[in-house]
Amino acid sequence: MRAPLVALALLTACAGAAPVPVVPQAPPPDPVTWQGTITYEARRPTPRGASQARTRHPARFVRVQMKDATGAVLGETFADELGRFALEADRNAAHALVVVASLDHDGHVLDVARDGGGTRPHEIAVPVPDPNVPVELNVTDEHVGAGALHILDMLLLGVQRVKEWTGETLPPFFSYWDRGVTTNWSFYFGARGELRGRTRYGIELLGGEPNRQTTTDTDEHDAMIVLHELGHFVMDVLSSDSSHGGSHPRGALIDPGLAWEEGRATWFATMVLRSPHYQDTIGIEPMGSLRVDHDLERGDRNDVRGMGSESSVGEVLWDLADGADGVPDADQDPVALGPAAVLRAMMELGGQPGSFPALPTFLRHLVKRELVPTSAMTELLARGGHAPTLLPENDRSPWPIDVRLPGSASAKIDGVTDPAPSGGPNRPSNGIDAVHTYRVEITEPGWLAATLTIFGTGRASDRSDLDLELRDIRSELLDRSAGEQPVESVAHAVEPGFYVIYVRDGGNGNRAGYELKVERR
C-alpha cells in the first residue's frame, strides 16, 4: 500500500500548512467478459395496420458497448448473425451496457440516427448485468430502440442482397428516424457528408405524430417502405436517376422518369423480401389501416397503365425477375431473369452515355441485349394488361425527346383537363401531360441556353403559367425560370455531356401551347 504512505509523508512535511486532501484511490481494473444475446420486437402488416402480435428477431451484427458513468466507452464489440456477443471491460468502471443502432460488417457501414446529420445513432442502455449470468436482452416495441433495430436490419438485408446480386459493396448509409418526428413522408435525400473518406448517403423515414403510434403513419415496421427508400439509393449509386422528384399518388399518370424511379424502388423492395405484396401500414391494428396494398404479381387493374404509371413499372419488373432465385412466379409468365440479372441490366443501361431511362427504354435495352426475346416480352406485357407500346420498335424511346442543337420543339402543356388527355386525373405538379422532357447533347464546353415562348400571357390567373428547368443527366437542377411572363429563359455554363430540359405546368393547373428553342452560346 505505497500510495497512503506517500500521502502521509506529504502531510508531515507540510506541518502548519493547510491539510492536503487524500484522494481516494480507484480500485484496480477488474476485466471481465459479458456474454449474451440481443433481440428486438417487430410487427408485420395486416389489413388494419401493423399487427398486435410481435415477432422477435436477432439484432444481427449490431454494435455493443460498455460505458462508464461519464459515457466513455470502456469496450466495444459487434454481435454475430444470431445477435450473440462477448464483450470484455472493466467491471469496476462499468456503468451501462449499451446497444447502438449501428453496424460495420463485411464492408457495410450502416446507422439509424436520431438526427438528420446521422451523428447520433439510437442507443438502448441497460444497467450493468451480472457477468456470471448470460445476458438475454430483448428490446420490446414500447422502446423506440426496437424500431431503430428493425430499420437497421432491413437496411443490412438490402445491401447484402445487392452484394449477392452484383458483387458491389455500397457506400456508408444511414436512416434518420425517430418516433414523433417526421410526419409528412419518407424519402431518400441522397448524399450527406462523408464518413471515412467516402460519400455517405441517407433516407428519412416517417415517425408518425408524437405519442400516436397506434393511429398515425410510422414506418419502422414497414419493411417494404424501408427497402423502397433504400432502393432509391441503390439505383442512384449503381445505375441512373431520371426523376425530378415530387409526390407520386397512385391513380395518376406521372412524369415517366419519376414513375420509373418510384416503380423500380418498389420492385427492389419486393425482390429483397421475395414477395410481391407491397404494403404500407398506418397505425397498429385494430386502429390502423393500409395506405398501400399492391400485389405486383396479381396487378392493380384499377390503376392507370403506361410508361407514366408507377404500378406498371413495378409489375413489369416483377414479371421479368420472378421464377428465378427463389422469387415466386404465380402466373407462369414467359420470362424468369431473376433479380440479379435485372439489376445488372439496369446498371449496364445506366452506364451508357446520356442514360435517362423510363420503362420503355429499359424494355428495349433487354430486347436489344438479347436478354429477353421480343415475343416473350410482348407476351409478358399482354398477360399483365399492359399496352404493347411499352416496348418501342426501335432504339428511339418515346421519352425523353431528343433535340439537336440548335433546335426547337413545340407542344402543349395541359394540367387542367380532368380526366387528363392521357387518362386518369390531371396532375399539375408532375403529371405526364403537365411535364414535357427534352434531352440535348453538348460536345464542347460553353453555355447551354433555352428559351420558352408561351402562347399566352404566362400568368397563373389566365392558366398559362409555364416554367422552364435545366438539369444535368442525374436530374440535378442547374437553372430554373418560374416567373409569370410569356417568355421564360435559362442558361448555364456546361461541360460536354447530356442535359435535360423540362417544360412544366406552373403548379396550379395550366394549359398552354409553347415553343422551346435550345442553343449553345
pLDDT at 20: 65
Is pLDDT larger for residue 3 or for residue 94?
94
What's the whole-number mean pLDDT along residues 282-311? Answer: 93
pLDDT confidence band for 80 (50 / 70 / 90): very high
Asked if 83 contacts 38 with a C-beta cutoff of 8 angstroms, the reply is yes
Check pLDDT > 50 for residue 2. no
pLDDT at 503: 98
The 10s digit of each residue's pLDDT in 130-148 is: 999 999 999 999 999 999 9
Check pLDDT > 60 for residue 221. yes
Q: Rounded to an integer, what distance in angstroms lies between the CA atom of residue 504 and that of residue 501?
A: 10
State phi, psi for 248 to the nearest 5 degrees: -145, 75
Q: Which of 299, 269, 268 is nearest to 386 (CA)?
A: 299
The 10s digit of each residue's pLDDT in 373-389 is: 999 999 999 999 999 99
Check pLDDT > 50 for residue 213. yes
Asked if 363 contacts 346 with a C-beta cutoff of 8 angstroms, the reply is no
What's the whole-number mean pLDDT along residues 196-225? Answer: 96
Check pLDDT > 80 for residue 75. yes
> What does DSSP say about strands 123-127 and 187-195: parallel, antiparallel, or unpaired?
unpaired
Q: Rounded to an integer, what distance in angstroms lies between the CA atom of residue 322 and that of residue 331?
A: 10
Q: Rounded to an integer, what distance in angstroms lies between the CA atom of residue 53 and that of residue 55?
A: 7
Check pLDDT > 80 for residue 12. no
State phi, psi for 282 to the nearest 5 degrees: -125, 120
What's the whole-number mean pLDDT along residues 301-309? Answer: 90
pTM to 2 decimals? 0.93
Q: Which residues contact 468 (CB under 8 A, 6 or more apart)?
A: 450, 452, 480, 481, 482, 488, 489, 490, 501, 502, 503, 504, 516
Give me 132's grid cell. Answer: 456470471
Q: Which residues contact 246 (CB under 8 A, 6 or more apart)?
A: 255, 258, 429, 430
pLDDT at 166: 98
pLDDT at 10: 25
Asked if 34 contacts 86 with a C-beta cutoff of 8 angstroms, the reply is yes
Q: Rounded to an integer, what distance in angstroms lies between the CA atom of residue 92 and that of residue 28?
A: 8
Q: Rounded to an integer, what distance in angstroms lies between the CA atom of residue 169 and that of residue 119?
A: 22
pLDDT at 19: 64
Check pLDDT > 60 for residue 13. no
pLDDT at 431: 96
What's the whole-number mean pLDDT along residues 286-291? Answer: 96
Judged by DSSP in three states, 472 sits in: strand
Q: Rounded to an integer, what distance in angstroms lies between the CA atom of residue 244 and that of residue 226?
A: 21
State phi, psi for 42 to the nearest 5 degrees: -140, 165
Mean residue pLDDT of the chain comes to 94
Q: Which residues contact 59 (CB under 8 A, 6 or more apart)?
A: 38, 39, 40, 79, 83, 99, 139, 149, 153
pLDDT at 245: 86
Check pLDDT > 50 for residue 8. no
Q: Rounded to an integer, what distance in angstroms lies between the CA atom of residue 152 and that of residue 156?
A: 6
Integer angstrom CA distances of residue 13 from 5, 17, 24, 45, 403: 12, 9, 20, 76, 94
User: For the packed helices 338-350 and 144-166, what is the interaxial angle rounded to 10 degrees?
Assistant: 80
pLDDT at 479: 98
The 10s digit of each residue's pLDDT in 456-503 is: 999 999 999 999 999 999 999 999 999 999 999 999 999 999 999 999
Task: Please provide the size of the chain in residues.
Answer: 521
What's the whole-number mean pLDDT along residues 332-344? Answer: 97
pLDDT at 445: 97
Q: Say what percent of the chain tops pLDDT 70.
A: 95
Half-sphere exposure of 77 (CA within 13 A, CB side): 17
Give me 308's grid cell. Answer: 407514366
